[in-house]
Structure 1
């Protein structure tokens, strides 16, 4: 038996091996444009249960189903004109659509955590799209890290966080977007459940209407990413820091003197891509990580959402 996790190249042989492992009920870390996901056959109840066990994830927190294209999504959920417009605009890409389940969907009930809706998306990463086409079905894939901790944007992050709990890592290098997908509910009206890689302004431009932000219940989330404490390093965070205090590790944004800079040019896309990678690098479990203010616009909304949850009191 090979050492776990296996490191698989994003070529034909590596993808074929990943598909075989998924079909056998194993867990495989897969690259997406956002973060690495911990994938299992979404129709295999034992495999989906293994995701929750490996991550230490509460079983009331639903998962996202990843599919190869919109046609595959339509087999799982009740489609709509709004969904079609958004899929045409943003798929493949970092947008998850939450829609009512279709009868005969065949998914493990653990995927939806007992809800009558499903989050579904088409990831924008060549290796994972090839895997999904070869696999021929949906995979459930939350972030490939222990629940509540920093999300993984490189294979090394996956191995450090989960080790032998994952059978293999399909290694396609760093994730270019760096924050999780935007999650949008569409029934009955558009509601932003989690900001992410597609800015809310872009969604509103396609829909021609404002998108509501619902009240969230961290004790019973209707979407991933809604727990009050989430995405957290071991060390404490100090947000909106305009000065540096002795002993702190300094995470900057814009033209500031710091230890690591999310984007010296003030580019929010670059900052999102660097966010989790830089937090991993600065986190020694002891020194406070001080973070420069981030504009609350565009991708800055998703960055600030992650930072606020990372800084929240931990249970």
Structure 2
């Protein structure tokens, strides 16, 4: 029995949801679930994550319930292409080509939402910024493109626990997802994405080192952005 067949068999044995391979053949099914306001588990280019329609208040609340996470903790969003970012955040202050060099990849860029953002006000209430991902993963990007929305995205684990690099890491939470998409063991080493704040013109601040710190800083310096003292440096001062 091949790997896909074993995964499908495992899924059929489950009572409340299905484990499926994270391949192009299953993108449409994932899109349908997202449009119906459901939560799915998907691999990214760093970790496994829970995803839902970022413009559905009910779905976003469901993610918080699954993770046991306080709603004061912000969620990031995932879009299908770099060109989609301007639908949800302000990026016209950035040097031309910067985002295209950072993304797709294991980087979360934090930008201001702006008044024209399509995001629901219920997503991260009280915050005027949003973390945005364009993962180097055709599967999740295909879902985001097909949903014609942004995906709310957070790590597939209970709040405060270790991040997941394979679906077995969050097996206890499968029952809360419409589908769990298996992309195998991810190589990130649980580091997650590098998070960089780009809200200030001509400046950047590293909020989390993540798995692509050096590459990210090299690109930012290439575009002559100046670093604001990081939160980690401030804590150690």
TM-score, with structure 2 as normaliser = 0.83
For 1:160-199, what aligned pairs fall within 5 Å after superposition?
Answer: 160=172, 162-178=173-189, 179-188=191-200, 189-199=203-213
For 1:57-206, what aligned pairs fall within 5 Å after superposition?
Answer: 57-82=69-94, 84-160=96-172, 162-178=173-189, 179-188=191-200, 189-200=203-214, 201-206=217-222
- In the alignment, is the contact (CA less than 8 A) between 1:28 and 1:166 conserved in 2? yes
Paired position in structure 2 for 1:268: none
The 3-state SS of whatever aligns with 2:196 is strand
CA–CA distance in structure 2, aligned partners of residues 84 and 169 of structure 1: 37
Paired position in structure 2 for 1:20: 32
- In the alignment, is the contact (CA less than 8 A) between 1:9 and 1:15 conserved in 2? no
Task: Tell which has more relative contact order, 1 or 2 (C-alpha 8 A, sep 6+).
Answer: 2
Structure 1 residues 11-33: Cα deviation after superposition (integer angstroms, max 9, x where no partner): 34421111111111111011101
CA–CA distance in structure 1, aligned partners of residues 211 and 95 of structure 2: 17
The 3-state SS of whatever aligns with 1:149 is coil
Q: Would the alpha carbon gap of residues 173 and 123 (structure 1) be closer, same or farther in structure 2, given more than 3 Å must change?
A: same
From 49, 55, 58, give the equivalent of 1:46. 58
- In the alignment, is the contact (CA less than 8 A) between 2:44 and 2:137 conserved in 1? yes
Unpaired runs of 5+ residues, structure 1, are 217-227, 229-315
Paired position in structure 2 for 1:262: none
Q: What displacement does 1:68 show? A: 0.6
Larger fraction in strand? 2
Aligned residues: 216
From 213, 225, 228, give the equivalent of 1:212. 228
Moved over 4 A (4+): none
Greater Cα offset, 1-10 or 70-79: 1-10
TM-score, with structure 1 as normaliser = 0.63
Q: Would the alpha carbon gap of residues 3 and 104 (structure 1) be closer, same or farther in structure 2, given more than 3 Å must change?
A: farther
Unpaired runs of 5+ residues, structure 2, are 1-11
- In the alignment, is the contact (CA less than 8 A) between 1:75 and 1:102 conserved in 2? no
Structure 1 residues 203-261: Cα deviation after superposition (integer angstroms, max 9, x where no partner): 44333344223447xxxxxxxxxxx9xxxxxxxxxxxxxxxxxxxxxxxxxxxxxxxxx
The 3-state SS of whatever aligns with 2:154 is coil
